[in-house]
Amino acid sequence: MAAEPTNESTQRVVQTKEWKIQVNEAGSGYPIIMLHGSGPGATGWTNFGPNIVALSKKYRVIAMTLPGWGRSSEVEPGKEPLRKTNARAVKLLMDELGIDKAAVVGNSMGGGAVQQFLTDFPERLSHFVTMGTGGPGVNLLVPGGFTEGIRILNETYRDPSPENIRRLVRIMVYDSSFVTDELCELRSKAALANPKHLENFLNPKRDGTVQGDDIVDALTNTKTPALLVHGRDDRTVPLEGSMRLNAMIPNSRLLVFNRCGHWAQLEHANEFNQVLDGFISSH
């Protein structure tokens, strides 16, 4: 019987035409590419560990660590919107790995990259999946400005100690049992391994929020099936964002978990894995 995938056994660095990309890859079958959210110490494994373990029994699962995080290359702030960098990084990794088309799954910032990937490389996307992601437009049902989660995320970038990471993880989840010493130490260690990533994220020139008309056009006209997942208790990206996406994308369905924060794929891992498997299998 094969050993269960671990961070160490699945991790490697792939050189693409523009960047080095850290990946955690396991399994075989139809490819699923997973994109993490922002936050100091975020990696493909810390955002998707349980999902990689379960889904790799049936699929080829590739959890990217995007440029600007982990062992991946640094990103020059202000050169282009971050979502465009991330979308192109996905495309270049697919080129390098010989993948023509894939299901792309994005959490938070990673979901923004999925939207941009649909816009820039629609022929390479078979399934559009987001969790805890905002859509183009302005929230009307919640207060404006930075959410509680985004404020704490930015503060933690200035000092990603295990104690501050614990504060960040606590705001990301509904169930405090997910706030473990192991996860906080892992993310803190990953964040402190490359201080340049932290500095670049805090650079005022960094642009990660611009939503253009090109994305709206792509979302409203795509035939790609979409699965949108959100936690009702998300204190980082309000549920309203996924509701807007659901209204825009013709072939979409929205799944809302109660008692769930920003990391639905971790807090409700078993059900999320089953739903994702069913979605990919039926389309």
Structural domains present in the chain: 7-282 (3.40.50.1820)
CA end-to-end span of the chain: 31
Whole-angstrom distance, CA of residue 15 vs CA of residue 72: 9
Residue 145's pLDDT is 77
The average pLDDT across 143-160 equals 91
Residue 170's pLDDT is 96
The average pLDDT across 73-94 equals 94
**DSSP per residue, 69-133:** STTSPP--TTSS-HHHHHHHHHHHHHHHHT-S-EEEEEETHHHHHHHHHHHH-GGGEEEEEEES-
Residue 2's pLDDT is 73
- Nearest Cα to 178, choosing from 269, 82, 62, 58? 269
Beta strands in the chain (DSSP E): 11-15, 20-26, 31-35, 60-65, 102-107, 125-131, 226-231, 252-257
Residue 160's pLDDT is 96
Residue 279 pLDDT > 90? yes
pLDDT category at 143 given cuts 50, 70, 90 is confident
pLDDT category at 212 given cuts 50, 70, 90 is low
Residue 48 pLDDT > 70? yes
pLDDT category at 3 given cuts 50, 70, 90 is confident
Region label for 170, one of left (φ > 0), alpha (ψ between -120 and 50) or beta (otherwise): alpha
More confident residue, 153 or 141: 153
Residue 144 pLDDT > 80? no
Structure tokens at 215: 């994305």
Residue 146's pLDDT is 85
Residue 12 pLDDT > 80? yes
pTM tops 0.85: yes
* Residue found under tokens 């995007």: 66
262 is catalytic: yes
The average pLDDT across 113-133 equals 98
**Of 36, 197, 230, 262, which one is the catalytic site residue?**
262
pLDDT category at 204 given cuts 50, 70, 90 is confident
